[in-house]
Amino acid sequence: MKRARPRPPRSTCPISTALEVLGDPWTLLVVRDLMFKGKKNFLEFLDAGEGIATNILADRLHRLESAGIVEKQRDPADGRKHIYLLTEKGIGLSPLLTEMVLWSARHFTTTAPPAVIREMTRHRQRFLAGVRKEWEKNQRQIGRKGTKAR
């Protein structure tokens, strides 16, 4: 499939720049699944519950890969398949996603487990350190010391 060349950014405003990569209803859900739910492959993302279409999912994974937020590689358990992993740049989104979870839990009814919300609220740094530790463990399991962001 032929991919269009990346467009120049609308502006250099930091919020606009982030929205260029993350500002649609699906992208952060894919990052959420990688970061908090341990999902790694296409079918797991499809089964996340929000009902993303296969073409949209493929596009978002490609965009995230192009932006250096995820890395695609062969599945060590089955070389015919691919898995997606957060890069250092991707795991760097954990404070942002944590804040989004807390904001939503304060203002809306959500399915976020109350114990997780308490941990995020009362022990934010410990929670974020745990997310990073899990990411580092996953990196070691596939034989990487970490992936560099582009």
Q: Residue 32: which of 99, 94, 110, 118 has the closest Cα? A: 94
Contact yes or no for 21/27 (Cβ under 8 A): yes
3-state helix, strand, coil in the chain (%, to 5): 55, 10, 35
Question: What's the token pair of residue 42?
Answer: 């296409």
pLDDT of residue 142: 79
What confidence tier does 144 reach under pLDDT thresholds 50, 70, 90?
Answer: low
Sign of CA dihedral 136, 116, 94, 39: positive
And the tokens for 56? Answer: 């949209």
Cβ contact 84:41 at 8 Å: yes
Q: Name all domains of the chain by residue range, CATH numbers in brackets.
A: 14-141 (1.10.10.10)
Q: What is the CA radius of gyration of the chain?
A: 16
How buried is 7 (Cβ within 10 angstroms: 0-12 exposed, 13-18 middle, 19+ buried)?
exposed
pLDDT tens, residue by residue, 55-96: 999 999 999 999 999 999 999 889 999 999 999 999 999 999
The residue with tokens 């941990």 is 119
- Distance CA(41)–CA(145), nearest Å, equals 21
Tokens of 70: 């995820």
Whole-number pLDDT of residue 8: 74
For residue 150, pLDDT beyond 70: no
Summarize pLDDT for 42-58 with one digit per residue, the tens. 999 999 989 999 999 99
Residue 20 has pLDDT above 90, yes or no: no
